[in-house]
Structure 1
Amino acid sequence: MCGADLEGQRRRGRVPQRQQRRDAPQADQAQRVRQPPVQARRPAHRHLAARGEPPRRRRRSGGVPDAGVELGRRHQRLSARRGRRAPGLPRARGGVQRLVDRAVAARPVRRLRPLVPRDRAGCGPRSRQPDGLQPAVRLRLRRRHAGGELQDEAPRRRDPARHEHRPDHRRLTGELMRSLRFACAALAALVPTAAFAMGGPSPGAVTAQTVKLPSGPGSVRGLADNASVSAFTGQVTYAVPIDLPAGPGGLTPSLSFGYDGGLGNGPLGVGWGMAQAGIQRSLRLGVPHYDATDEIELFGLGAGGQVVSLASGELRIEGQGHAIAGRTVDGGYELTDADGRVYRFGTTAAARKASGANVSAWYLEEIRDVAGNRIVYGYRTDKGEVYLDRIEWGPSVGGARVFRAALEYEPRADAVVSYRTGFRVESALRLARVRVSSFGGTQRIVALAYDDRFPLTRVKSVRVTSGDGVDALPETRFTYAAAEAATQTAVPDVTGWGLNLLGTSLFDVDNDGAMDLLRLHTSGHSWRRNIGGRFAPPAPMPGATGSSLDQVRLVDLDGDSVAEMVRQVGSQWVVHKLDRPSASWISLGALAGAANVSLAGVAIADVDGDRRMDVLAPFGSTIKLRYGTAAGLGAPLSRPAIDPSRPIIQPGAAATSFYDLNGDGLADAIHMASSMFYVYLGRGDGTFEKYRDVAYPWTGSVSASQIRLGDLDRDGLLDVAVVRGGNVAWYRGLANGAFDAAAVAVARPPG
């Protein structure tokens, strides 16, 4: 300790007794001032006055005493002031409870402040001991002076004659700390046991709380480290975020790729998508009409919602958890949220998906906060499809913003044509890489690789490299489960119930998820329950009898995924709904708008994508179209023939069928000729575009009754199956409307 500081501390009585004896071993014992006996409840200022010392103001100390030392000193001080012998501190067993009882019974003290001893070698507080305990320190009791000022009690010196009965402070402190350590250990042992008893993790279990990743700027995280499973569909979802430099004021764009098994084919292939924000005409009710009846909805911003126009001309977003106001501006939209951020959508032609005056979507092109910081989005259009081209943000230097993310695309072999918006949109590009740059220099490149072995593009890997391409992180690879091989299973006792017979079909009668056998007959209908690999004996289905089989159809008229029976009765169409508990048909009456329309010569298909069946009937060289509505069939509308150069292609013809070939939700026309398919894509308004002629992938001639069309591998594309000589082979459909040349043979059962 410094000499001057030590001498001053010694005069004021603030140096511990052990240090005084060490520093002055030859000091005259007669010169030591004995401390008067401590009187119970004697105010500090009276005690100082009796010694002839003026009240001294308390000096702060920067040290923090150990909890055990402070509590032990306080216990001894209080016991001495109350004029009784200080009892021994409790042992470990049961000591915590007795210590609590004594603390409650003790007289409360205003405040305790420690005086930290100086280091032996020099000035400054002593360092903390290795075991976490501080050396013993002296406590000064803070009392209120008679004049109202806070004063410090004078340091007392130990009187051996008066206090011989007091226990040693160091022994008391050690016993107290052992008691506290025992109590803490007991509590720590009880906590996980109690958690396990209440259903929590067992002691030592590895949980999300015990295993933590570093969160600093230098931590490296996986690209797809947040996989989850949808509780509703069971589909696995991934998110692949792209790290972007932070913008001023926290205004930073978000860019990420995501996988969802329920997504279709997009700029990143099937099942993959890129988060974008925009406003679009709702496709929930089918192809937009491009008038005031269309619903306008917001997507990709917050929870989204429907854009509603108010009488005042302002816009509101329904379904949002926070207020968003908006208005129309420059042919687009401008929205403002509660934080004052302004979002502009489709105010330029490049940020709109449109055909002439018909605009189906307005994409986000600018975000501006209250401080004037901006994020600018740029787009490019190719064959009707709009692609995000670049994102720019940060301060503007020389007319350009310092941060930039450029998206680069490449051609794809599985281009898909869609008429979902009412006009032709072809997705012929796929995302190849994203370049992230700062102040003109490339920071990182995120590259995507695709697997082209499948009919549709699939992301194979994602790789992040440095701007110069030298350094790279390990790539993230994706694999996909292959479809199970198709097999044939012999079903016994179905003689006379062949699916090639008119009136026999597969139909889930009892709604158990398994397809049953259904036979329609003029004299009465019957069905056979699927009981797992075989069918039960026939059971009758009462009702809806008396019509010839060419005057009966099973179609879903109301879009509830359950087919109804439609019968021709005179000049009317009578609709019957299946009552599943009784397995009988109940009449719903005549279908409005279907009078004098022959059920045998029409095609029933969803033309406009509203999930209601529409009716197409040949009418000379044209087509009469009746849209399905909630009330029945609409008024007949005249449409041109499917292909005027091929009059044989007509709705209702045996060789002409309607399927969704390209996965846009609209009915397409397919005519099966002698050696090829004639494919026509539906435009959503009852007209069709001649798409291509597709040669049969098999050799030899087959009749139309031997060909079956359907999505057999659930990839969203139409496949074709051929039955010849008891053998079944099917061919995968391709995105361009053709079929794979390699057949997938269906194994026959043994025997």
Structure 2
Amino acid sequence: MEWFGVPRSRRLVELCVRFSLVGASAVLGIAQAQTQTLVPGHTPGEFSVSPSGAATYSIPIQVPPGVAGLVPSLSLNYSSQGGNGIAGLGWSLDAESSITRCPRTLATDGVQGRVNHDGNDRFCLDGQRLMVVSGGYGAAGSEYRTEFDQFSKVVANGAAAGNAANGPESFTVYTKDGRTLQYGNTEDSRIEAQGKVVVATWAVHSISDVKGNTMVFNYGEDTAGGDWRLQSVGYAGRSVHFIYEVRPDIYRGYQVGSLIAPYARLTQVETRIGTAVVQRTNLTYDASSNLYGSRLASVQLCDKDNRCLAPATFGWSSVGPDAYTSAFGFSHGGGKDNNITADFNGDGRSDMMGFTGSGTNWHVCLASATVAAPAFDCALWQGSALGVKSVVAKDFNGDGRTDMAAYTGTANKWHVCLSTGSGFQCAYWYSHSGGVTKNVSGDFNGDGRTDMAYYTGANGIWSMCLSTGSGFSCSNWASHGGGYANNLTADFNGDGLDDMAGYTGANGNWHVCLSNGAGFNCSYMTSHTGGVSKTKLGDFNGDGLTDMAGFLGTPGSGVAPWKICLSTGTNFTCSDWTAHNAGLLGAVGDYNGDGRTDLAAYNFSLAQWRMCLSTGTNFTCSMWSGSGHDEAQGDYNGDGIDDFAAYTGSSGKWRFSFSLKKERPLIQSITRGTVATGIEYHGMSAPGQLVYTKENSSVYPYRDIQSPMWLVRRTTVSNGVGSVNATRYHYGGMRAELASAAGRGRGNQGFRWYRLFEEPTQTELHFWHAQDWPYTGQTIQSRVRVVGARAADEAIKLTDTQYTCYQTMGASPTTGCPAGVPGLIYLVWPHVATVKSWDYNGVALPEVQTWRAYNGTNLTDGSLKQLGDVTVLRVDVLQAGVLKHRKRTVNEYHPAKTTGTDWQIGRLKKATATSTQY
């Protein structure tokens, strides 16, 4: 049998994109079932654990060779941290490239924005921000580079539908290796936002090399659902075709008023030579449940005669039964009316706090990090002298810990007590004079710190007091005129800034005021007619926009319609969903960990919960066993699913109800023939077998992160002798940069370090990563240690790497990259890498240092330009710190052509190597 394969270690081409959203309006060309013959071997694939702690698996889609190496690089990829994609939960199709709209950011543009489908949008090439170097942004003929320079020239062409407001008609990309890529230059590769003529995505249509060979991509678009899919790739008389079916788990989300509803699910990939099918990759799915999304069951490679390799099969974790389990735990004795549930130490688990009634003593009970919930470590913290009903509990300084603020009643003076994680530090801050009862809290400027607002009573004018981390800065913002009692605060358009909404009292018209960080932009939107008093807020379809749920009936038993009004980012779209009939007496939260807001109500007569889980288009309701009430809702065990607590009235004894539902399904086993891989996960915030170490050293605008994120804790691989080889993983030091000023706000910067321990060889590999921009994610140090080798188990190998950054559009080829300056284009490169090694007895081996220099390349006009070409490479070998050998290579390049359609760079002319023995 003939297989058109590629090595498993083959790297994907530089320009690739995850088509995690695809669309189809019908079942497309599903192949006829044939008798299958199993042949020796198994469907290829490669498992790994990413530096972010995700379990990943990659299956190459094998293709026949092309001319001069021009072939598509295609694969199916799984990430346990991915969304519900083209092949189900966690799966995406790595095909080729696209240019999409992306928001302006404070870090790059000095402005915090969102995608607006207008001239304020920016463009991203496969997720890399495009920086304009010539012309107006989005204008015909404008030229771009990627923010981290890939040394490709990107040119915008024309105007879509003849109007520049719709974006460019197409893009042309000239790559460093001499290829030319056309994006959006055909109707099928130019994808408009649903219901608009504005182009949302420019997909690659063709790739041509310098010899004139061309590869063509064809797409299908579902205009009603705002979605698209890759249909085929053709090259050199060969082609790859993607076959879909209507997915049973259609997701509906919104962006700037446009619907996004992926309609298709990949079922087969066909490889053809001419018109003859020579190979198929077949995908099958678990049909038992689609509540969380599609679950891929197997992938199998077959030839044209349906002779097939053993499939790769995937075992998924159980989501758990529809029930609660109850347990008693001891916290403070204040009861439900004297309790605040929040995360006071920033560990991702909900804590409890009650006022003792004596002086400034508060009984703070932190969820245990080592003992399974419900368990608390309680202590007295000194805070405000006022009780629970007189304080606002929010994060006022942006460190991820909940603080408290109490109004003194005197001249705008507030007593603000900032949590340190083990106590409060209190000071007086000056804010508005409305007090706690008339205060509205939210992060109105998106800097990660909670602000305060108070309605002045004058024509929609609010006193907006923005937190500085050590005080408040107040000014007047114009918003709706409904006041604090007729106000809802939430992020209705998904830009990371809290907005305001007030009901006008007429026909479902709401006055919605969207924050821009320095004020509000107000307009009227249509939602339900119940007003603020009959509204629950939540993200009911999981698209990142806050929606409204209105109960307009009379509370009773059984089920009833709710008016669910989903935010589109520019308005609301309302429909009736069926849920419990308890009305606003019920609770809202995510009770199954799927990222969508659910509704719940406790039925005392049945001693059960009526749980209504959102599917994104309605609720699915059932009765769950378990006792308790929703007096104190929180995530007490750090699993990302909301729990309930009710006070028993007895000496600090609380009854906790924990959902037996687990976080959405994850692949926990992969089988390929006789090779089986097992995967165990643990939550960052979950107590017990710790997989993550939080570092509490960050200073604003940085924040140390601990969240209910699931990480790989241990993997096993069958070793062929009846046992398994196991590897353990541990992570630490995740942090984020908050949007505090221009040049800031780059978000999550990943783990500072992670390590893995291979049990059979007793070998530990430890990696440290940079977190400062623009070096974020670069490995700066690695260590290999073997138990029993060297004294005190010291390292047998140490690698240190120092990085340098140049501005590729700077005044000279070696202009540096100053910190905190927005709008730069970067070349980040390893300046020197030092490798030190020892044998198992501790005897030092030769040290190797590798030095690189990027001094610029001459253009045809004689000027010098930074084009990412290594000009000098030096390798030094040292023994006991003394230089013993040096090899120095000097590279000379042909003058680069960078004008017009010419883009000929990086062509090596001569390399001169000199070796010296000392």
- Which 4+ stretches in 1 moved above 6 angstroms? 212-215, 520-525, 556-560, 566-575, 747-750
Give unpaired runs (5+ residues) of structure 1: 1-211, 396-401
Is residue 718–residue 732 contact of structure 1 (8 Å, CA) maintained in 2?
Answer: no
C-alpha spacing 1:617/1:524, structure 2 compared with 1 (3 Å): farther
Structure 1 letter corresponding to 2:574: K
State the secondary structure of the residue aligned to 1:627: strand
- Name 2:326's counterpart in structure 1: 488
Structure 1 letter corresponding to 2:577: D
Q: Deviations over 1:244-275 (max 9, x none)?
A: 11111100011111111221122222211112
- Name 2:617's counterpart in structure 1: 737
C-alpha spacing 1:287/1:415, structure 2 compared with 1 (3 Å): farther
Is residue 540–residue 597 contact of structure 2 (8 Å, CA) maintained in 1?
Answer: yes
Structure 2 length normalisation: TM-score?
A: 0.50
- Name 2:263's counterpart in structure 1: 428
State the secondary structure of the residue aligned to 1:704: helix
Is residue 559–residue 612 contact of structure 1 (8 Å, CA) maintained in 2?
Answer: no
What's the offset of the Cα at 1:439? 1.3
Is residue 509–residue 516 contact of structure 1 (8 Å, CA) maintained in 2?
Answer: yes
- Is 2:513 the counterpart of 1:626? yes
- Is 2:562 the counterpart of 1:723? no
- Name 1:466's counterpart in structure 2: 303
What's the offset of the Cα at 1:721? 3.1
What's the offset of the Cα at 1:513? 3.8
Q: Deviations over 1:366-409 (max 9, x none)?
A: 111111111111111123343333333333xxxxxx21111111
Structure 2 letter corresponding to 1:319: E
C-alpha spacing 1:223/1:481, structure 2 compared with 1 (3 Å): same
- Is 2:282 the counterpart of 1:417? no
What's the offset of the Cα at 1:573? 12
- Name 2:824's counterpart in structure 1: none
State the secondary structure of the residue aligned to 2:326: coil
Is residue 218–residue 230 contact of structure 2 (8 Å, CA) maintained in 1?
Answer: yes
Counterpart Cα distance in 2 of 1:521 and 1:642: 43
State the secondary structure of the residue aligned to 2:258: coil
Point out the structure with max Rg over C-alpha.
1
Of 82, 87, 106 in structure 2, the residue corresponding to residue 263 of structure 1 is 82
- Name 2:126's counterpart in structure 1: 299
C-alpha spacing 1:226/1:473, structure 2 compared with 1 (3 Å): same
How do 1:256-335 and structure 2 match up within 5 A?
256-276=75-95, 277-282=97-102, 287-299=114-126, 304-311=128-135, 313-330=141-158, 331-335=169-173
What's the offset of the Cα at 1:239? 0.9
Counterpart Cα distance in 2 of 1:518 and 1:509: 9
Counterpart Cα distance in 1 of 2:416 and 2:199: 41
- Is 2:287 the counterpart of 1:452? yes
Counterpart Cα distance in 2 of 1:629 and 1:556: 21
- Name 1:528's counterpart in structure 2: 364
Structure 1 letter corresponding to 2:206: E
State the secondary structure of the residue aligned to 2:282: strand
- Name 1:387's counterpart in structure 2: 228
Counterpart Cα distance in 2 of 1:279 and 1:296: 7
Of 572, 584, 591 in structure 2, the residue corresponding to residue 688 of structure 1 is 572
What's the offset of the Cα at 1:221? 7.1
Counterpart Cα distance in 2 of 1:566 and 1:626: 26
Bigger shift: residues 315-324 or 558-567 = 558-567
Of 56, 61, 65 in structure 2, the residue corresponding to residue 237 of structure 1 is 56
Is residue 593–residue 635 contact of structure 1 (8 Å, CA) maintained in 2?
Answer: no
- Is 2:193 the counterpart of 1:354? yes
What's the offset of the Cα at 1:488? 1.6
- Name 1:105's counterpart in structure 2: none
State the secondary structure of the residue aligned to 1:661: coil
Q: Deviations over 1:212-268 (max 9, x none)?
A: 9999xxx98754532111233x22011111001111110001111111122112222
Counterpart Cα distance in 1 of 2:83 and 2:396: 26
How many corresponding residue pairs?
507
Structure 1 letter corresponding to 2:123: I
Q: Deviations over 1:582-629 (max 9, x none)?
A: 424653735587542543432111111122221212234332333345
How do 1:88-99 and structure 2 match up within 5 A?
none
C-alpha spacing 1:619/1:747, structure 2 compared with 1 (3 Å): closer
Structure 2 letter corresponding to 1:315: E
Counterpart Cα distance in 1 of 2:48 and 2:335: 45
Is residue 241–residue 271 contact of structure 2 (8 Å, CA) maintained in 1?
Answer: yes
Counterpart Cα distance in 2 of 1:525 and 1:601: 34
Counterpart Cα distance in 2 of 1:420 and 1:577: 38
How do 1:597-676 and structure 2 match up within 5 A?
598-621=483-506, 622-631=509-518, 634-635=519-520, 637-643=522-528, 647-648=529-530, 650=531, 652-653=532-533, 655-672=534-551, 673=553, 674=555, 675-676=560-561
Structure 1 length normalisation: TM-score?
A: 0.60
Structure 2 letter corresponding to 1:489: A
Bigger shift: residues 287-296 or 592-601 = 592-601
- Is 2:68 the counterpart of 1:227? no
C-alpha spacing 1:619/1:495, structure 2 compared with 1 (3 Å): same
Counterpart Cα distance in 1 of 2:541 and 2:63: 36
How do 1:47-58 and structure 2 match up within 5 A?
none
Between structures 1 and 2, the one with greater strand share: 2
Counterpart Cα distance in 2 of 1:309 and 1:682: 36
Is residue 721–residue 728 contact of structure 1 (8 Å, CA) maintained in 2?
Answer: no
Give unpaired runs (5+ residues) of structure 2: 1-6, 11-38, 106-111, 159-168, 369-373, 433-450, 457-461, 463-482, 629-654, 657-918
Structure 1 letter corresponding to 2:47: A
Between structures 1 and 2, the one with greater helix share: 1
What's the offset of the Cα at 1:540? 4.8
What's the offset of the Cα at 1:321? 4.8
What's the offset of the Cα at 1:315? 2.1
Counterpart Cα distance in 1 of 2:98 and 2:259: 20
Of 192, 203, 223 in structure 2, the residue corresponding to residue 363 of structure 1 is 203
- Is 2:183 the counterpart of 1:345? yes
Of 421, 431, 435 in structure 2, the residue corresponding to residue 589 of structure 1 is 431
Q: Deviations over 1:688-726 (max 9, x none)?
A: 101432243xxxx53532x22222332223333332339
Structure 2 letter corresponding to 1:589: S
Is residue 183–residue 206 contact of structure 2 (8 Å, CA) maintained in 1?
Answer: yes
Structure 2 letter corresponding to 1:326: V
C-alpha spacing 1:227/1:494, structure 2 compared with 1 (3 Å): same
Counterpart Cα distance in 1 of 2:393 and 2:583: 24
Counterpart Cα distance in 2 of 1:575 and 1:682: 36
How do 1:195-206 and structure 2 match up within 5 A?
none
C-alpha spacing 1:742/1:620, structure 2 compared with 1 (3 Å): closer
Structure 2 letter corresponding to 1:235: A
Bigger shift: residues 727-736 or 671-680 = 727-736
